């Protein structure tokens, strides 16, 4: 699936959420989407700690790779929903960041030193 397709599918989800649970204005939607990112990141962090056996035994016993992947997808989706709400061209900024990172670390070049 291409980035544009993912963004479009999450826009459909955002439209549904906004229709069924409308918030007063854009600022409230941005706040809600931001808090959702934080919540989902916490849940992903919890799953990662569990995968590393750094949680209580009862959590470790219930760990599954599927839950970890679901939480990762929740973070990813929440970030896209936030990006859509902020009217960010997600494909453009991701491509820009990849280019910057490759240049910074000279990926594809002989040296891997960090550029200042």
The residue assigned the tokens 């918030």 is 23
Say if residues 111 and 102 touch (Cβ distance below 8 Å): no
The pTM assigned to this predicted structure is 0.89
pLDDT in tens, 3-53: 999 999 999 999 999 999 999 999 999 999 999 999 999 999 999 999 999
Q: Which two tokens stand for residue 51?
A: 């995968």
Q: Average the pLDDT over 81-109 and give the result.
A: 96
Q: Which two tokens stand for residue 20?
A: 């069924």
d(CA 90, CA 79): 10
């Amino acid at each position: 699936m291409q980035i544009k397709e993912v963004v479009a599918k999450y826009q459909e989800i955002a439209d549904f959420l906004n229709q069924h649970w409308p918030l007063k204005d854009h600022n409230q939607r941005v706040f809600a989407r931001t808090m959702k990112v934080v919540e989902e990141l916490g849940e992903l962090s919890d799953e990662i700690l569990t995968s590393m056996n750094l949680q209580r035994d009862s959590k470790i016993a219930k760990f599954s790779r599927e839950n970890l992947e679901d939480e990762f997808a929740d973070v990813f989706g929440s970030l896209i929903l936030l990006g859509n709400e902020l009217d960010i061209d997600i494909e453009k900024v991701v491509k820009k960041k990849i280019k910057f990172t490759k240049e910074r670390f000279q990926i594809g070049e002989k040296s891997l030193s960090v550029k200042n």
